[in-house]
Structure 1
Amino acid sequence: MTAPVTVAALQYCAAGTSQETLAFLLPMIGEAAGQGARIVSLPEAATFLAANRKTLEAEAEDESASPTLDALRTCAAGRGIDLHVGSIFLRRADGRLVNRAVMISPDGSVRAQYDKIHMFDANVGDGKRYRESDHFAAGDSMVLAEACGWQLGLSICYDLRFPHLYRQLGLAGA
């Protein structure tokens, strides 16, 4: 078993744009690292919350050139921490959006990435319906990521409703 590790789980409400969110998020990450956190974990939709489809499309960055992800990578490297981005909305080369968890290493490189497998598609009370699959392409594989000597299984939000994913991650070493 590895030595104990200090982990900071940041809880906040992302702004409407990545730029607005980074203005307060990067100092929060720095504060957590300054207090001894070696792993800092961010929530789903870590960098912006879109009010509608148009905003989501406008704010999502290309996976091959994301200034927001670059800023988070630079922050992790500057602090020498493992940074778990709970999820960031990115556009793949084929134009589809993904809800992606990213594990950034202390040198700023992307160690692992996971695209949310289980989309929240549900009809709820009062005639409301949610269809994440209308906006995002689903991932198709589980992902393990090493951080501070630990094997971590990556998942995003609604994935927790599917215990077989966690069983498979556990059997794989998470």
Structure 2
Amino acid sequence: MTADHRLRIGLTQWHATTDIDANLAVAERLTEQAASDGATLVALPENGLMLGTNAQMRSAAFTEDGPAVTRLRETAARLGVAVILGGLKNRTDRGVFNSALIIAPDGTLAGRYDKLHLFDANIDGQSFEASSVEQPGTDLVVIEVDGV
């Protein structure tokens, strides 16, 4: 990488709901907007495709080859941008993880990071137990995007 090499990143945020199709529509629209603004990497938020109760999220856990992720892979390929699908409940043969999927500009899956430190806390008497829904990852992941 040269000193003058730059990577333009589109950061997105929205209030996700349990309506996966509506959340996907927002993800696609914001990815399109970021790409039209010159982003070569678009970061989508944690739980952006589905946010609900622990039971709802575990039940609706996505798979890397399922329709929601496939739709975002197709969007990335159509726009020629890399996408970080940041933090979704990802069902694998080893269990459910909170994974960030990295989609390359050609729509292939470039990598996956499984969250190492799960949010288990008791705040003002309210208990949050991510470990009741997902299991921790084991490895850090480094991915190159557009030479960076």
TM over 0.5: yes
Q: Greater CA deviation, 12-21 or 75-84?
A: 12-21
The residue aligned with 1:55 is 56
2:49 counterpart SS class? coil
After TM superposition, the runs of 4+ consecutive aligned structure 1 residues lying more than 3 A away are none
2:42 counterpart SS class? strand
Paired residues, number: 146
Q: Distance in 2 between matches of 1:102 and 1:132?
A: 19
Q: Distance in 2 between matches of 1:112 and 1:90?
A: 13
Q: Distance in 1 between matches of 2:46 and 2:108?
A: 20
In structure 2, stretches of 5+ residues that fail to align are none
Identity over aligned pairs, percent? 31
Report if the CA contact (8 A) 1:104-1:112 is conserved.
Answer: yes
The residue aligned with 1:155 is none
The residue aligned with 1:83 is 83
Q: Give the 3 Å change call, closer, same or farther, for CA 62–83 of structure 1 in structure 2.
A: closer
In structure 1, stretches of 5+ residues that fail to align are 151-174
Q: Distance in 1 between matches of 2:92 and 2:40?
A: 30
Alignment partner of 1:69 is 2:59: no
The residue aligned with 2:123 is 124
Question: What's the Cα RMSD here?
Answer: 1.4
Taking the TM superposition and a 5 Å limit, the aligned residue runs for 1:8-157 are 8-50=10-52, 52-63=53-64, 65-94=65-94, 96-125=95-124, 127-150=125-148
Q: Give the 3 Å change call, closer, same or farther, for CA 123–54 of structure 1 in structure 2.
A: closer
Q: Distance in 2 between matches of 1:30 and 1:62?
A: 23
Shift of 1:46: 2.0
**TM-score, normalised on structure 1?**
0.79
Aligned residue identity for 1:58: S
**TM-score, normalised on structure 2?**
0.91
